[in-house]
């Protein structure tokens, strides 16, 4: 589709629903479903075109595989982060300076995508499963393992999805119903390690935990960053490597390129609902950004990545820290800072090693 880079359109006449169905391999069993999805697609396309026609936006929207879904359906299928459970885990996590000392001068930009030898595996697609937390965790373990051993190995997001317990039953029972990267780190730490993706491949289903798969790597622990602290996160991604972070991804569905500025502004509620990996930061034309690695496939965003506004350091209220579930023990609301709340919950692993 070279003629339609990123499927960024400025007119609805440039792309039809039938072209979308063909390009993304969509199949609908009944005519009623086809018409229903066409109506949703048309509304989403109009939203995309309207956004792209505004010359003042620093980022573009584009058509992707989610264009025939409502925002409610996208949130139900592609998110999977439970922030109340995260707050319970963070209460017991090691905290402090994590052995970090801020360098006198930090690099003006950091991009772990270009590090040699490589420390990032290929962009994953979690599919219609709320396993973003497992992907953010496994990616962070992969990166740390590569930095400490020189071996870049694709590890099993499915093992984390199927096997990580969720004892507080927050957001369901874990798996595709959602959990956190911290829970996944605890599982690897306390259960003898993690398998390769080749030995325990991803299925986009919770599945049943397999205990007879050989494990190839483990960690000695994990560290959380200070909540809502810009400097802590900046230093960590510059000196420790890629970091597991969380954010409000409610407006990310059709992001295609550029520096995203569509986060809720000052005074607006922010709902932390998605876990991703932070892989760097930079600046373009005087506008600073974070570099995010998502798990929605390479057809989303900038080949699976996103640049998000780094200049907003304000704080917002998250009135649903339980993420719409019945989890006991957490606050009724929390303060989250940075664009889309990206400064709120960040963590990384230490002592990654091969078995």
The residues carrying an active-site annotation are: 132, 274, 294
Check if the beta carbon of residue 314 is closer than 8 Å to that of residue 106. Answer: no
Q: Go through the chain and tell me how many residues it has.
A: 355
Pair of tokens at residue 254: 């059709």
Write down the H helix ranges in 53-150.
71-78, 83-90, 132-149
**d(Cα 232, Cα 249) in Å, to the nearest integer?**
22
């Amino acid at each position: 589709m070279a003629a339609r880079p990123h499927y960024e359109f400025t007119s609805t006449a440039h792309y039809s629903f039938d072209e979308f169905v063909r390009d993304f391999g969509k199949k609908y069993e009944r005519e009623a479903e086809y018409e229903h999805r066409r109506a949703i697609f048309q509304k989403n396309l109009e939203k995309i075109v309207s956004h792209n026609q505004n010359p003042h936006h620093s980022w573009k929207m584009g058509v992707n595989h989610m264009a025939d879904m409502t925002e409610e359906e996208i949130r139900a299928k592609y998110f999977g982060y439970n922030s109340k459970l995260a707050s319970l885990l963070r209460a017991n996590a090691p905290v402090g300076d994590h052995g970090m000392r801020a360098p006198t001068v930090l690099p003006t930009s950091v991009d772990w995508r270009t590090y040699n030898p490589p420390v990032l595996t290929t962009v994953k697609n979690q599919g219609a499963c709320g396993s973003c937390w497992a992907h953010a965790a496994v990616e962070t373990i992969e990166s740390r393992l590569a930095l400490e051993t020189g071996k870049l190995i694709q590890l099993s997001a499915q093992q984390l999805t199927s096997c990580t317990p969720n004892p507080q039953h927050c957001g369901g029972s874990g798996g595709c119903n959602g959990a956190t990267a911290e829970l996944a780190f605890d599982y690897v730490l306390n259960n003898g390690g993690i398998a390769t993706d080749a030995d325990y491949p991803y299925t986009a289903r919770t599945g049943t935990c397999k205990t007879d798969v050989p494990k190839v790597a483990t960690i000695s622990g994990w560290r959380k960053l200070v909540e809502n602290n810009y400097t802590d996160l900046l230093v960590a991604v510059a000196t420790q490597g890629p970091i597991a972070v969380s954010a409000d991804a409610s407006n990310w569905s059709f992001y295609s390129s550029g520096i995203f500025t569509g986060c809720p502004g000052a005074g607006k509620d922010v709902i932390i609902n998605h876990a991703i990996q932070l892989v760097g930061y930079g600046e373009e034309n005087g506008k600073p950004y974070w570099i995010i690695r998502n798990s929605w496939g390479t057809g989303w965003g900038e080949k699976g990545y996103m640049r998000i506004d780094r200049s907003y350091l304000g704080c917002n209220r998250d009135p649903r820290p339980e993420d719409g579930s019945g989890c006991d023990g957490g606050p009724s609301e929390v303060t989250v800072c940075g664009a889309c709340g990206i400064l709120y919950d960040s963590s990384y692993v230490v002592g990654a090693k091969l078995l």
